[in-house]
Every structure is written in structure tokens, then in C-alpha cells.
Amino acid sequence: MKWRPGFVTIVLLAYAACRLVSAAILVAVGSYQEPTGWTGPEVTYLSFTQQWDAQWYRQVMDTGYPSTLPVDAGGTVQQNAWAFYPLYPFLAKALVVLTSADPVVVTSTLSLVLGAVAAVLLAVLLRRRIGPVSALLVVVVWASMPASPVLQVAYTESLAMVLLAGFLLAVETRRWATAGALALLTGVARPIAAPLAVVAVVAAVLRWRSLRAEGARLSRSEGLGLVGLVAACGVSGLIWPGIAALSTGSPTAYTDTMSAWRGSGTITPLRPWLDNARYFFGEDRGGWFLLGYAVIVLGASLGPWAAGLGPAMRTWGVAYPAYLFVVLDPVTSLFRYLVPIVPLAAVATLAAGRRGGMPGGPPGPDEWRGPRRHVLVATVVVLAASIAGQYLWTDELWRFVPPSDWPP
């Protein structure tokens, strides 16, 4: 009997191919990386995956978090481990204890495996809406984004994507308790509770409206599940700041720590975006640039071309960029912060557009209708540009040029 690979197997093979391409780029760029205290005397693929914030996670693995916030002579809080959420380093530490393996091997491999899990969850989520072929194309483009090498270095993007994809899939399938549990886990993995809460609220409103249109009412159990989901998202955003406050005795330990990474030394919503836009594009054109950026990002998820993605992912595609706009300084880290915006990958390949228009409902699991030729062409073009972008990201941001450099 001839073996035919299933959908999940095909996704895993495609994802592995994407990671091999990124590995080749990391090896190529690493070949002319000067040895540093991060890499040791010899720069190998594995040691090259341990740069920048990876060292903070290694510090958490080795010594935990400080009970007293470090301050300078003026009393200003300095950069410290409380900026880095504990789930990833604690998982890595547990694996090191269980396997006695080298932490360098464990952290890099952990990210690689978690990225594969995230790819499968995203593919399953997308297949419900746009069919298996289009879902596969979107996952491949997402896994090849310019900053996608971060999915196989000792960073938390892979873990965050597992929790995000699981959360969106749970919301899509109305598993409210599962979505709430995943939201709580993000509270110790990644500071994305606010946009998750927006997705939860929209899901609750849409469910209520749907039942009302059918002349039905929310059951007590489902109503409690939706309330619990929204509450879990709210609690998620308070977990890590609360732990930091209790552990250090400073109510503002987390926000003070995060401020230490800002060029201004303070967290000022929205202002850094406007200042940077004016700096790079001029006083008169800076505001117009930001408006154009907002139109592109919002249009990617709100436009009719994205209708096939479903309300959960479309809401995320709006809420997460808006959240970044409010809380993030738009510096070089922005490229890896874009990795969770999966709708951008979908729109880039036009995979949401299928012959005959948008699907009217979830396709069957065996529906392998091919996309239009222009979708395949767009995918090839986007992949070529993305792989070139990976090289630029790795060379310009991940490779460290002493004595100081811009972080990825």
C-alpha cells in the first residue's frame, strides 16, 4: 500500500525545510561573526543561537531573578532579568535537569520544536477557513519571514506562537476554558494579554449576537466560560508584574525594569513612533508615514481579501499591531515583534482569495483544492524576498559587531 503523508506531516516537512534554510543562513553569517563572550572562542551554529537576549534567559536558568532591583548612583533601575518572562527558561531548565544535556543544545532545540508545534496549530486553524493548500502556503510564508530565524534561537517567539495559535484555535472552536488556560500561560511567557483580551471580547460579542439571531440564548455554562475567558486575559496581564512586585518589594518593579530598555528611560505611549517617524521622514511627512503604516496593517486584516481568515485571527491582526503601536518603541526589535502577525503572511500570498470567492464555511479535511496560479506566483515571489530579508536580518541585527551594536 502506497504511503501518503497526512496534512500534519506535510506541514512539519515544509516547516523543517524553512528552518533548514534559516540554519544555512545562520551558519553562513556566523562564519564571519567575531567570537564574543556569548559564543565562546569558537562560533558554531549552536553558539551563534545564544546571542543577545538569549543570555538573559540563560541567566534566569542559572541564577533565577534578583530579589533587589539593580540601580545606578541616581537610583534609576538598570536592565535586569525581570524584563524576561519565566516560562521559556524554566522549561529549558527542566529539560536540562531531566536530560543532563548542554543548555546550549536544549534552548536552541526547544525553540525549534516549539516552532514546529506552532506551525501545526496555525495550519490546523487556517485549514478550517481557507483549505489545506492555502493554509500550508500561509504557514510556509510565515515560517520564512525576515525575522523567522528567531524561531530557532534561544528566544521566546516560538513559545509565544504556540500559545497564540492554541488560543486562537480554541476560540475558533469555542473551547473557552482551554482558551482561558492558554491566556493565563501567556502571563508567564509573553506580554500580549491586552490584544488577547480584545480577541476574547470580540468572540464573546459575536457568539452572543449569533445566538440572538437564531432566537437562542447563551447557556449558563457557556456564559460562564466566556466571562472566565475575558477574566483570564485580564488576569494574565497582571501575573508577571505582580510576581515581580511581590518578589522585589517594589510595586513598579516590572515597569521600572522595562523603562531601563527605553532610550528615553520612560515608557511613553505613542510618542516614540511619532518622534522616530519625524526623525526618519521629516517633520511634515512623519505623521503621514504613520498613517500609511496604520492603513496597511489594519487593511491587511480588515479588508475583504482577509474575510476567509475568520474573526479570531482578523481581530488579532488588528489588536496586536495596535498594542505594539501603544507600548513599543519602534526600534530594531520591531522586525521580530512582527512574527505573530500571521494575517500579514496570509495577505502577502493572497491565500485568503480562492477560486469562486471566499469559502462559505470550513472546508472538509480532505479538500485539497489548489489555489489560483497567481497565488502560487505570489508565494514564490514573497518567499524569495523573505529569504533575502532573513539574510539581511541575520547579518545586520543578529550578528554582533563589537564593541556595541543594535539588538534584534
**Grid cell locating 186:** 501567556
CA dihedral (212, 214, 215, 219) positive or negative: negative
Mean pLDDT of the chain: 87
Beta strands in 57-143 (DSSP E): none
Closest to 276 measured CA to CA, from 334, 321, 319, 336: 334
Distance of CA 363 to the CA centre of its chain: 26
* Confidence at residue 350, expressed as pLDDT on a 0 to 100 scale: 58
Please give the pLDDT value at position 265. Answer: 58
Q: Are 234 and 197 in contact (CB under 8 A)?
A: yes
The more confident residue out of 217 and 103 is: 103
Domain boundaries, the chain: 7-398
State how far the Cα of 361 lies from the Cα of 128, in Å rounded to an integer.
Answer: 8
| More confident position, 236 or 324 | 236
Q: Measuring CA to CA, how many Å separate 232 from each of 121, 235, 252, 383? A: 21, 5, 22, 37
Give Cβ neighbours of residue 313 (< 8 Å, ≥ 6 apart): 125, 126, 129, 168, 172, 301, 342, 343
Backbone φ and ψ for 341, nearest 5 degrees, come out as -85, 75
Maximum separation of any 2 CA atoms in the chain, in Å: 74
- pLDDT score for 302: 79
Kindly state the cell numbers that stand for 289.
508615514
pLDDT at 204 over 80: yes
Dump pLDDT digits (tens) for 166-201: 999 999 999 999 999 999 999 999 999 999 999 999
pLDDT of residue 75: 87
Phi-psi group of 215: left, alpha or beta (phi > 0 → left; psi -120 to 50 → alpha; rest → beta): left
**Predicted local distance difference test score (pLDDT) of residue 406:** 81
Tell me the percentage of the chain whose pLDDT exceeds 70.
90
Alpha-carbon span 209 to 163, nearest angstrom: 27
Predicted local confidence at residue 198, as pLDDT: 97
d(CA 205, CA 198): 11
Comparing 43-47, 202-206, 267-271, the range with the smallest average pLDDT is 267-271
The mean pLDDT value for 216-227 works out to 92
- pLDDT for 298: 78
Neighbours of 221 (CB within 10 A): 10
- Contact between residue 153 and residue 51 where contact means Cβ atoms under 8 Å apart: yes
Residues near 85 by beta carbon (within 8 Å), at least 6 away in sequence:
156, 188, 189, 190, 191, 240
pLDDT recorded at residue 19: 98
Residue 58's pLDDT is 96
Whose CA is closest to 129, among 101, 168, 72?
Answer: 168
Using CA atoms, how far apart are residues 9 and 7, in angstroms rounded to an integer? 5
> Which pLDDT score is estimated for 360?
38
pLDDT of residue 370: 52
Residues 30 and 399: their CA atoms lie apart, in Å, by 7
77 pLDDT band, cuts 50/70/90, is very high
What is the per-residue pLDDT for 5? Answer: 73
How far does the chain reach from its first CA to its final CA, in angstroms?
Answer: 49
Determine the pLDDT at residue 366: 41
Q: Of 21-25, 200-204, 399-403, where does mean pLDDT reach its minimum? A: 399-403
Query: Which pLDDT does position 149 carry in this prediction?
Result: 97
pLDDT in tens, 97-128: 999 999 999 999 999 999 999 999 999 999 98
Q: Which of 50-59, 125-134, 349-358 has the lowest mean pLDDT?
A: 349-358
Confidence (pLDDT) at 368: 42
Query: For residue 131, is it left (φ>0), alpha (ψ between -120 and 50) or beta?
Result: left
For residue 364, what pLDDT band results from cuts at 50, 70 and 90?
very low
pLDDT band (50, 70, 90) for residue 263: low
CA 229/CA 235 separation, integer angstroms = 10
Judged against a pLDDT cut of 70, whether residue 355 lies above it is answered with: no
pLDDT at residue 278 in the model: 72
Q: Is the peptide bond before 402 cis (omega within 30 degrees of 0)?
A: no
Model confidence at 395: pLDDT above 50: yes
